A and B are shown apart, each in its own frame.
Chain A
Amino acid sequence: MIEKELIVKNKLGLHARPAALLVKSMGKFESKIEILRDDLLVDGKSIMGIMMLAAEQGAKLTFRIDGPDENEAMNAVIELFEKGFYEE
């Protein structure tokens, strides 16, 4: 199991479009993906869960990934966050 804290960079935060990008990307991996924010924990493959985090610009999210392709999955997550979900 690996864990990493990431910061939301794009201006609008994790709204519908970035959330859809994230679940589509995560859906390709076998590993179990959990996202933590303060005392909230949601499934990284569930779009409604992700949106309910209401993660604004600057929000800190911890990704906890567990499974055979956890490293690849984490790299995909990191890339999406670094690129700001291809948004401003």
Chain B
Amino acid sequence: MSDEKKNNSTLTVEDIFKDNKEELSFTVVSGISGMNNSIKSKEVVNAGLAFAGYTEHIQKNSIIVAGDVELNFLNNLNSSKRKLFISSIFDKGCAALVIVTEKKIPKIIKIFSNKKNIPVIKGNGSIYSTTNKLSLYLSSKLAESVTKHGTLVDIYGVGVLLTGKSGIGKSECALDLVDRGHRLVADDAVKIYKRGEHILMGTGIAPDSSIQYHMEVRGVGILDIAKIFGIRGVRLHKRIEIEINLIEWKPDTDIERVGLKEETSNILGVEIPLVKIPLLPGKNISVIAEVVALNHLLKISGYDTSKVFNATLIKLMQEKAKKLARLDEDEE
């Protein structure tokens, strides 16, 4: 689609170090020349058997974590084996090796780290929490994301993505929604990323919160929504649960009339319900957006109005048909 742009974020060892050095008390021990190594794998690999010469699980461009167990094991090896195993780890081309320990890092590791330009970062604390934190960090930083032309509003707790041609009234609709007590997440461009496999999250694209939540309304100019409506009118990010596509009304547009047929929109491989709303002069889109959100809540709570209504109607008609048939047979 033309209104989408895929983001290919790159992450270097330097980024990981800077963003986590305080929390995980990181220090760079060796291999400084490799701080620009890029990380391409979301997985944080536990070194484990790699220190015993088995390196199948060591992926290229990934972060390897080791701790006291690995260092103690290394200490019990003779120097030739130690050299062999350490060199085979660094030969695998990992991005960086994080060692969580209170001890000093063995010289042999520093030598190979410098030779292969792979940084060794020392951390304090527990290896478990370090691995966990790095995992979370990598999965959020390397998450697939896409920027979509649209406006994201939290309506009664449902993240509604308004899409449609430029000038069709997405921003005006969002403005009306915020005025009615709902919250704006992003206007004009929404950065969408995946959390886990099935959850889409949306946020603004502004590099800083000071310029986030601004909106252009044609004829008025730039508005600061957070200043006008206060903190209750905005929120930082929101799960996207439904897309409302605003379209121009034409006599021949095919519009869903009962809601039995459900369309979906595919964003980053995740399907979310898609509702197409044709625009006519004088139509109040905000109210429609609100009921779309409420009806969605009703549906996920297990009540699908269109289906229930139709089932009831069919049952009613069949009972009536039966009664009539009986009356026909009853002629005496």
Binding site for B on A (CB under 8 A): 12-17, 19-20, 23-24, 27-28, 47, 51, 54-58
Contact = CB atoms under 8 A, between A and B. Distances in A.
B320 interface: yes
A23 B257 contact: yes
Nearest to B316: A54
Given A20-B257, A47-B258, A13 B321 contact: yes
Given A16-B313, A24-B257, A56 B320 contact: yes
B317 interface: yes
Interface string B251-275: 1101011101000000000000000
Interface of B: 251-252, 254, 256-258, 260, 306, 309-310, 313-314, 316-318, 320-321, 324
A27 B254 CA distance: 11
15 contacts: A12-B318, A15-B313, A15-B314, A15-B317, A16-B260, A24-B257, A28-B251, A28-B252, A47-B257, A51-B309, A54-B313, A54-B317, A56-B321, A57-B317, A58-B324
A19 B258 contact: yes
B260 A13 contact: no
A23 B256 CA distance: 11
A68 to B, nearest CB: 15
B97 to A, nearest CB: 63
Contacts of B257: 19-20, 23-24, 47
Nearest to A19: B258
B259 to A, nearest CB: 9
Lowest 3 CB-CB distances: which A-B pairs, in order?
A56-B317, A13-B317, A16-B310
A55 B258 contact: no
Contacts of B252: 28
Contact of B260 (A17, A54, A57, A58): A17
B310 to A, nearest CB: 4
Contacts of A12: 314, 317-318
Contact of B258 (A14, A20, A27, A54): A20
Contacts of B254: 24
A24 B208 CA distance: 48
B278 to A, nearest CB: 12
B306 A56 contact: no
Nearest to A23: B257
